[in-house]
Amino acid sequence: MLKILKYSFYDLMRSRWSYVYFLFYLVLGFVLLFLNNDVSKAVITLMNIIIVLVPLIGTIFGVMYYYNSKEFTELLLAQPIKRSSIFLGQYFGVAGSLTLSLVLGLGIPFVLYGLFKSDVIFNFTLLLITGAFLTLIFTVLAFIIAISNENKIKGFGYAVLTWLFLAVIYDGLFLMSLIIFEEYPLDSLSLGAILFNPIDLARTLILLKLDISALLGYTGAVFKQFFGTNLGLFISMGVLILWTVLPIGWLTFKAKHKDF
Amino acid sequence: MYKINRILLFIILAIGCSIQAKTIPVCVSCAVTSIKAGIAIAKDCDTLLIKKGTYKEYNILVDKPLTIIGEDFPVIDGEDKGEIIRIVSDEVTIDGLFIINVGTSYTSDYAAIRVVKSEHFLIQNVVLEKLFFGIYLEKSNNGKVYHNKIIGDAVDEYNSGNGIQLWYSKNIEVDRNIVQGVRDGIYLEFSDNITINNNISTKNLRYGLHFMFSNDDTYSNNTFENNGAGVAVMFSKRVKMYNNIFKKNWGTAAFGILLKEINDSEISGNIFEENTIGINIEGSNRINYTNNSFINNGWAVKVRGACYENKFTKNNFMYNSFDISYNSNLNDNVFDQNYWSEYTGYDLDKNGIGDVPYRPVKLFSYIVNRTPETIVLLRSLFMDIIDFSEKVSPVFTPDNLLDANPLMKKIK
């Protein structure tokens, strides 16, 4: 598995898209800091970008890579290698290189602008960690979609739809249901609904540390306990890990049972 | 005639004081060893000089014009038995005492220093610790509370008292005090013409400063930080609030300022930073908000209803999660020439004023008002999209609520 991981990783590291992705974040980081000149403000702006763009790029990249390296995969399948190592190797290669581009691309400008001297280092690390998780989650979702669909166009369609659903539509439905059922106590429901969407989860996790003033000022004891203590941080981190591990398990299951 | 008589009396008293006043030292090894004994033998206008040491006394009644000065902060320990000093005479000065262990009672408000129906008093450089009520002014006018330090250890609202309390008192100056860890830092009830300047009120359980039925008061250059709910101004008229700092008042019901039934007031030059709600306005009319800065608050201004003819001009609204929140779509308030950090318009004629009006009320804030739990969707892409569409064509938010002349640069 490690060999395949290494191969995929180096293959991607050499590819143009990784550089584009890396450069994009590098430029973004520098521009943000140049315009704001305040590390803590830049972290907030960055959050908005990370929770939208990282999943999108993870999804598209994952699907693209799977379809592009399909022939190579089939070649590998003919060899005496475990199926799970082939697919997991490829998956971690893609996710690893994307995460590396993200962390380095954003890390370099912030470090140069004096991250270590400011007090937002924890927030920034949290931001990168959630970004990495989002990459892992959405790449694996993309792989699952790609592995289940032979048709490239269909695969792409479903992948983009998944992203659109989780990034926008889910929140819309969530909001609608909250308004429809506003007569009922909704604290637990709304917190529960967050856990079922990794993008919402990532957003909450970062908000916990940033905009807590507005969040705290409202509603009942359940929110207060969740957002006011470390409980929220642990729960959302735990669920985020579940969101990564479970789909990876599913991917191995799919890979084992697929008929090539 | 009466007034002239009083002035004459005052002059005579003052001259009299300077001629025949003598100083009575109080200490463990002096002729007088307790403050009570000192007051008993003192004549009008004398000075009691209390030397360093611990005096276990309470219910000290000051019933003649005296100056009580502590040297190197002598400790008066009430041993939790009751009130410590009660002033019932005009022209009393208390200076440099360290008072601890005021008794707690649920039937009478024991205070470290209580002034009853007296005038021209001065309480300064006093340090109070372990108190119930700190300085309690009752129907006393024309006095000064200056440079005191009140440090409480209040835990619950129901069994704690206020730092400085004014009740039916007029023309008082409260200046340069530090109040922390009590229920209300400074509390005014039925007190008019009070000036409150340069105080620092922090970590109080309820409000840093609390007005009830008190008119024509001014407070300026104070700092209110980390209080249970900031400053509450209720049922008062013509209150002036200048250049104060309201910081870090956050929690489930925390505000920078809570305005309830306030009319004809001025709020100017204040800084609101990191409060859950900067200003919460309810039933307040004809208030001018100028040159304030709202920075990093959850809500900068929350308008609850029945607020008419308020004017917001030349304020800075920067990086607040919500700038303005309304719970109705009726608007009779004016927003003009403010700086909004979220303004995205342009200024083609370069006159410093944006060419497109700014709408400070977001659809999201309207939704949150209706269903508070939706706050968990803060900063989501979906919310940004519907906020944008609402901005383009307002349906739910008041369509006349806009800043027609948003400034391009922040006001210094």
B247: nearest CA partner in chain A: A213
Output DSSP code: residue A35: H
- Residue A234: predicted pLDDT: 87
Residues B223, B237, single domain; the answer is no
pLDDT grade for A218, boundaries at 50, 70 and 90: low
For position B61, which CATH number holds?
A: 2.160.20.10
Please name the residue that has the structure tokens 């695969």.
A155
Query: Would strands B322-326 and B98-100 be described as parallel, antiparallel, or unpaired?
Result: unpaired
Q: Which of A46, A218, A226, A236 to mutate to test the interface with B (most CBs of B within 10 A)?
A: A218
Residues B337, B397, single domain; the answer is yes
Residues B206, B305, single domain; the answer is no
Give strand pairing partners of B197.
B175, B220
Contact by Cβ (8 Å): B128, B112? yes
Q: What's the CA gap between B389 and A171, in Å, rounded? A: 16
3-state SS class at B81 = coil
Domain end among B207, B228, B249: B228
Q: Which of A44, A168, A218 sits opposite B382 (nearest CB)?
A: A168
A109-123, B296-310, B358-372, range with the lowest pLDDT = A109-123
Residues B206, B340, single domain; the answer is no
Residues B119, B44, single domain; the answer is yes
**Domain coverage including residue B302:** 230-412
Q: Which of A44, A168, A175, A184 to mutate to test the interface with B (most CBs of B within 10 A)?
A: A175
- Structure ipTM: 0.83
Q: Is the confidence at residue A213, as pLDDT, over 60?
A: no
Residues B192, B242, single domain; the answer is no
pLDDT tens for B85-115 read 999 999 999 999 999 999 888 888 899 999 9
A205: nearest CA partner in chain B: B376
pLDDT tens for B275-323 read 888 999 999 999 999 999 999 888 899 998 888 899 999 999 998 888 9
Q: Which of A41, A47, A216 sits opposite B319 (nearest CB)?
A: A41
Q: Percent of chain A beyond pLDDT 90? A: 35
- Residue B4: predicted pLDDT: 62
Please name the residue that has the structure tokens 């940033």.
A210
Residues 6+ apart with CB under 8 A from B8: none
Give CA separation, B202 vs A53, B177, B182, B206, B229, in Å: 43, 11, 9, 10, 11
The distance of A171 to chain B (nearest Cα, Å) reads 6
pLDDT grade for A212, boundaries at 50, 70 and 90: low
**DSSP string computed for B133-182:** EEEEEES-BS-EEES-EEE-----STT---SEEEES-BS-EEES-EEESS
Maximum Cα–Cα distance across chain B? 85
- Residue B388: predicted pLDDT: 87
pLDDT tens for A137-173 read 999 999 999 999 989 999 999 999 999 999 999 999 9
Domain end among B173, B195, B228: B228
Q: φ and ψ at B92, to 5 degrees?
A: -105, 135
The distance of B34 to chain A (nearest Cα, Å) reads 51
Give CA separation, A52 vs A56, A203, A241, B294, in Å: 7, 10, 19, 28
Judged by CB atoms closer than 8 Å, whether chains meet at A175 and B252 is answered as: no
Residues B160, B258, single domain; the answer is no
- Residue B16: predicted pLDDT: 53
- Residue B201: predicted pLDDT: 94
Q: Which of B373, B383, B388 to mutate to test the interface with A (most CBs of A within 10 A)?
A: B373
Residues B185, B245, single domain; the answer is no
Q: Which of B322, B373, B384 sits opposite A187 (nearest CB)?
A: B373
Residues B178, B250, single domain; the answer is no
Q: Is the confidence at residue B5, as pLDDT, over 80?
A: no
Domain end among B228, B257, B281: B228
A252-256, B81-85, B329-333, range with the lowest pLDDT = B329-333
Average pLDDT, chain B: 89
Residues 6+ apart with CB under 8 A from B159: B104, B106
Domain count, chain B: 2
B250: nearest CA partner in chain A: A213
Helix (H) or strand (E) holding A176: helix A170-180
Q: What's the CA gap between B283 and A9, in Å, rounded? A: 64
Judged by CB atoms closer than 8 Å, whether chains meet at A217 and B370 is answered as: no
Q: φ and ψ at A213, to 5 degrees?
A: -60, -45
pLDDT tens for B322-333 read 899 887 777 888
Expressed in angstroms, the distance from the first to the final Cα of chain B is 52
Residues B339, B212, single domain; the answer is no
Residues B250, B200, single domain; the answer is no
Is residue B9 situated within a structural domain? no
